[in-house]
Structure 1
Amino acid sequence: MSSGIPLGDIGCGTVEIRGDGRFYEWHIFNNGRWALRKEDRNREYMKVTDLYFVARVRDGDRVVVRFLQAAKGYRQLEEDDMPWKSPTQEICCYQMIQGLYTQ
């Protein structure tokens, strides 16, 4: 999937988060197609793998940390992958482990 949700505010620049949990289209350094200087329009300051979400949960003495992104080469979950779930039933986090989706 090559589209996502832009995150940012007016005048602050944006970064786009896509369905695989990674960040794309960094426009926070006055770069991108709106940059005043032509040489800055195609400059990429950050790569897709430079930033990601991580969840850390503690349950008593047990601590679990998970990257919230698809592993390289895996696609995001689509509704067709979860026929048992109605679209508004619940929101939950899935992780990829050796090619299997687990909850």
Structure 2
Amino acid sequence: RFIATNPDTRKPFYVGKPSPWIIRAALNKMQAHSEETVIVGDNLRTDILAGFQAGLETILVLSGVSTINDIDSMPFRPSWIYPSVAEIDVI
């Protein structure tokens, strides 16, 4: 059993998706630019949101978590939608 506490009452700093911090750190490490980078993911709430918040174009693939019906419930839209990674042709 694991119990975690936060005794100093500071808010945690999240670095995983959907935080754009991890995307920007990866871009810096690869010396890449957001204008030339696309993020591909199967989850609107993590992959696509992270890309959106980091200013990247996004590709949602429908072979995983999110479905086409989930898109209408989100305040953002993926740049492109494909049935699977194998069918991506915009890169």
TM-score normalized with structure 1 length? 0.19
| Structure with the higher fraction of residues in helix conformation | 2
TM-score normalized with structure 2 length? 0.20
